[in-house]
Amino acid sequence: MFYIHCPYCCEYREEEEFHAKGQAHIARPADPDQCSDEEWGTYLYFRKNPRGLHHEIWVHAIGCRKFFNVTRDTQTYEIKETYKMGEQPKVTSVSDTLETEEAAQ
């Protein structure tokens, strides 16, 4: 078991309280009525599945029930940061992670 930091509750809680909901920061088409079926289908169904850092939406289902974003390494399952909806991630690459870890030491 591991603990996840909820940016709204401001505390670490057990992983069982949370659920992953998919890729974060997906731009909705400005005018969906003007999209082709192919463009709309791509927006709805196709997601990135990277090896390494990935930004995801999670929900604190058994706590405050709010959605937030997680930056997670898909190879190690390590959570690099959590941040509120509407905010931008601080960690956007592996080098950002290394710089953050070096600054903490």
Q: Please list the pLDDT of the chain residue by residue as tens digits (105 residues).
A: 789 999 999 999 999 999 999 999 999 999 999 999 999 999 999 998 899 999 999 999 999 999 999 999 999 999 999 999 999 999 987 666 545 555 544
pLDDT given at position 93: 79
List, as one string, the DSSP characters of 14-81.
Answer: EGGG-EEEEES-PPPPS-GGGS-HHHHHHHHH-----SSEEEEEEE-TTTT--EEEEEEETTT--EEE
Which candidate, 56, 104, 59, places its Cα nearest to that of 81? 56
Domain 3-104 of CATH type 3.20.20.140: no
User: What's the whole-model pTM score?
Assistant: 0.81
Determine the Cα–Cα distance for residues 88 and 71; give it in Å rounded to an integer. Answer: 11
